[in-house]
Structure 1
Amino acid sequence: MTIETALESRTTDWFADEVLGEGERRALWEQRPLITAHVGRTFDAVFGGDPQRLSEVERFSAARAAAEISGAGALAEAYGAELDALGEDVAEAAGPRLDAIVNFATIVAADPVHIGDAHYDALRAVGLGESALVTLTLLVGFVSYQVRALAALTALEGSADDPVAAPVPTAGIVKGLEDIDFTLAPLDWKPRVEVLEVSTATERELEVLDAMGPWARRHPFTLTLGRDAEVFFERDKLTDASMESIVHGDALPPAEREFAALVESRVTGCRYCAFVHGNASIKLGGDRDAVHAVIKDGIDADLGQRARAIADFSAELAVTPPAPTGAAVQRLRDAGLSTGEILDLSYAVAQFAWANRTMLPLGQTVKPE
């Protein structure tokens, strides 16, 4: 039997209604209905989860903080409006626990490569359990997806009217990356939180794991994200839509989406994601020389016109705050990419802005034993 999410089908699009409004950006957003549907369902899972794990105030406060540090003014305002609607609950939640949650969200959004055990210990100290740690990390990653979707749509529209928060230095996100040994050789991943125990997992948690494949009950990353089964399920569906969907005639080839994921991971500092998606790009028939060059030399590698254009746009979208330029969009067009292909490229980068912000904080990349 095909697995069905426990969430009801969506009837509204929060991101479009509350952030994009009417106009060209919304029209661009609606060109990829599979993306819009899964972003909407993921929003419901992220913000409609168990209030005993994280309250609505805590969730929307973390989201607003992540959007603000990422320079996404319209998104931060929309999350602020959700907080305003909660009224007195916001004042009642004030205190060390909420402060720690907001601080964590800010760091993960802006500088995920430098999250360590101490950051999770600080959250444990104010009462967050292991599942709440996973939920909060997933939430910040999802907001990071929205941030980059908004930035890409704005760049494609050619608009400068999006309210933007005070500029955030990008140095923090690249500091120390020169010391990271990027490679296409196999790597492993070790979690910082306690993983889901299969022997005590609920039927729903096992159902979600099994939907990933028979390996998911053994892999530490899937067992980590399995602590929030509904968000994990929707995240997986959004990943498929962002990285693999070719239902549209103007779809970007999956190999180039994987190359964009490599560039995003190289910029953000995620060795594991770079290893996985660099290899995936090659396996799918992508530009082997370009992949090896980015692994070795980073985004300044010597690349051909199309790979160069994809790398430049992906890198501009990957940094915090994202800053894709009209010039980068034009280089994509000059290299032969259609508007639809640029949308697909943007959502691939957005997906790995999220993926990096789960893989990096929740664990550490290690060499195989």
Structure 2
Amino acid sequence: MSSGARSAGEPAGADVVAELAGVGSELAAARRVKPEFVAETQRAYDALFAADGPLAPAVRRGLAALVARWHGADDVVAHHTARGADAALYADELPADPALRAAAEHLDLITVSPALARREDVDRLAAAGWGPDAVVAISQVAAYTAFQVRLVEGLRLLQGAPTAHGVAPARTTRGRGRTKSLAEIASNGAKRPTAYTQELLAWTAWVPPVAADDLTDEQREAFAGKTNDGYFRLLSRLPKLLRARTAVDKAVFYTREGLPRAERELAATVTSKVNDCVYCASVHSRKASQLSHRTDDVQRVLDAVLDRDPDWRATDLAPLAAGQDARWSAVAAFAAALSTTPASATPDHIAELRGHGLTDVELVDLVGSVAFFSWANRLMLTLGEPFWPGTEPAAA
């Protein structure tokens, strides 16, 4: 099922997100405050859909259109359709080809119920004939599309434009009826966290990462500044995409401009709670506490209990904003609503945020923070699992 073919890319200077969102001049000016974010978001798109890769171009776009359809993002479906997406992949019925069907079913978990994914789900992809590079590519298609549709939705809301999204089709999802694993032992034999924490956690992959000694210069450069751990060595199987993704991350979370950094980390924590990602929530709740000195308020977010439907989607988001001051409550409420699948943020959320003094630049940054963790959570939750560092069994 692999192909090194290259898809036709977008024209030079393209900005697919702006095109899909219909970004006007005022919002374009706000986005230009972080030009690296805009440029690297497009570079990630090009790396995923136009560069050589383990999936045929029509398959990449067909799977992206399927993910967009499950988000109710009709504009994104049409975008990929116009660029050669394999229509069989986003039809009402899943594809007949066993390998493509396995990929589509796995995308369902990543898109709607990522916290319900288990190692056997990844093993099923391998059994269907997908190698490690292809598994990472399949995962990135779903995760990047989740990021992209939330950017588009958020930017449209900031302009007061009507949503371009339709209604996600009613169907029985892959995760329907599953429950989240509360196993106390991770796949590497270490102790596994079963509750949210601000303590330091580690992560182990379910797909073989590139061995540290086997990394190419391009792969090392793709995650420069990040830890040389299994997560980034795994994602380095698609180095051009990882390099752009690393730059997007830095542009959102490590720049002075935009939303106060503590509130960016708060948004990442809330998003991780909606998606039920214990690992990401641990990292970014800890940073939110360090930057804000409001450890108790951050812990209140982690302690929030969310009712969930049979697909494990949060149905009551109010606990994530409860007990916070008015501004943090508004930030948390919007972050939670933009994180849902499909997104449920409304113009009322934007009006409340503006009422607390958030500028267009800060609001663009908030949308980017939520969108990025809609990407990150889906990779963390479906390519591996967290564990408590230092609890690994001794090597034989």
State which of 275, 280, 284 in structure 1 corresponds to 2:287: 280
Structure-2 residue corresponding to 1:182: 196
Match in the other structure for 2:325: 304
Q: Residue 284 of structure 1 aligns to a residue in which SS?
A: helix
Change (3 A) 1:337 1:149: same
Q: Provide the secondary structure at the position in 2 that maps to 1:245.
A: coil
Task: Write the distance in 1 (CA, Å) between the matches of 2:41 and 2:177.
Answer: 28
Are residues 175 and 279 of structure 1, via their aligned partners in 2, closer, same or farther at CA, if it must alter by over 3 Å? farther
Q: Is the 8 A contact 1:148 1:346 kept in 2?
A: yes
Alpha-carbon shift at residue 334 of structure 1 (Å)? 1.8
Q: Secondary structure at the match of 1:138?
A: helix
Deviation at 1:352, TM superposition (A): 0.3
Equivalent position SS for 1:160 = coil
Distance 1:295 1:137, change over 3 A: same
Q: 1:284 to 1:87 in 2, by over 3 A?
A: closer
Offset of residue 31 of structure 1? 2.5
The equivalent of 1:69 in structure 2 is 70
Correspondence for 1:60: 61
Deviation, 1:138, is 1.8
Question: What pairs with 1:30-109 in structure 2 (closer than 5 Å)?
Answer: 31-33=30-32, 34=35, 35-51=37-53, 53-83=54-84, 95-109=97-111
User: Quick one: structure 1 residues 173 and 339, their matched pair in 2 at CA, closer, same or farther if it must change by over 3 Å?
Assistant: farther
State the one-letter code of the partner of 1:32. Answer: R
Amino acid across the alignment from 1:262:
T
Corresponding residue for residue 201 of structure 1: 215
| Aligned 1:135-154 pairs, distance under 5 A | 135-154=137-156
Q: Is the 8 A contact 2:221 2:243 kept in 1?
A: no
Q: CA deviation at 1:189?
A: 1.0
Q: Which residue of the partner structure matches residue 329 of structure 1?
A: 350
Amino acid at match of 1:28: L
Structure 1's 196 and 328: CA in aligned 2 closer, same or farther, altered over 3 A?
A: same
Q: After the TM superposition, which of the residue ranges 290-299 and 358-367 deviates more from structure 2?
A: 290-299
**2: CA distance, partners of 1:344 / 1:271:** 23
Q: Is the 8 A contact 1:58 1:101 kept in 2?
A: no
Structure 2 residue aligned with 1:295, among 302, 318, 321?
A: 302
Identify the residue that residue 370 of structure 2 maps to in structure 1: 349
Is 1:367 aligned to residue 381 of structure 2? no
Higher helix residue share = 1
For residues 88 and 189 of structure 1, the distance between their equivalents in structure 2, rounded to whole angstroms, comes to 36
Question: Structure 1 residues 122, 57: closer, same or farther in 2, change over 3 A?
Answer: farther
Gaps of 5+ in 1: 1-6
Moved more, 183-192 or 273-282: 183-192
Asked if the contact 2:47/2:240 (under 8 Å) is kept, the reply is yes
Question: Structure 2 CA distance, aligned partners of 1:187 and 1:338?
Answer: 35
Q: Secondary structure at the match of 1:193?
A: coil
For 1:3, the equivalent position in structure 2 comes to: none
8 Å CA contact 2:205–2:231 kept in 1: the answer is yes
After superposition, the Cα gap between the structure-2 partners of 1:119 and 1:89, relative to the gap in structure 1 and judged at 3 Å, is closer
Question: How far apart in 2 are the matches of 1:150 and 1:121?
Answer: 33
* From 196, 207, 225, the counterpart of 1:212: 225
Residue deviations 1:223-247 (CA, integer Å, cap 9, x gap): 2112221111110000111223334
Q: 2:260 aligns with which of 250, 253, 257?
A: 253
Unaligned runs of 5+ in 2: 1-8, 183-193, 306-319, 392-396
Distance 1:129 1:252, change over 3 A: same
- Letter aligned with residue 160 of structure 1: P
Corresponding residue SS for 2:269? helix
**Which residue is equivalent to 1:162?**
164
Shift of 1:87: 9.4
1:130 — aligned with what? 132
TM value normalised by structure 2: 0.80
Q: CA deviation at 1:20?
A: 2.9
8 Å Cα contact 2:327/2:356 also seen in 1: yes
Specify the code of the residue in structure 2 equivalent to 1:242: V
Shift of 1:175: 8.3
Cα RMSD of the aligned pairs, angstroms, is 3.1
Distance of 2:195 and 2:58 partners within structure 1? 39
Give % identity.
29
Report the CA distance between 1:98 and its aligned residue. 2.0
State the distance in 2 between where 1:288 and 1:266 align.
Answer: 16
Contact 2:63 2:90 in 1 (8 A): no
Provide Cα deviations, 1:89-132, integer angstroms capped at 9, x if missing partner.
Answer: 999x9722222222222221111111112221222122211121
C-alpha distance in 1, partners of 2:116/2:384? 11
In the TM superposition, residue 173 of structure 1 has moved relative to its aligned partner by 9.9
CA distance in structure 2 between the aligned counterparts of 1:174 and 1:345, rounded to whole angstroms = 33
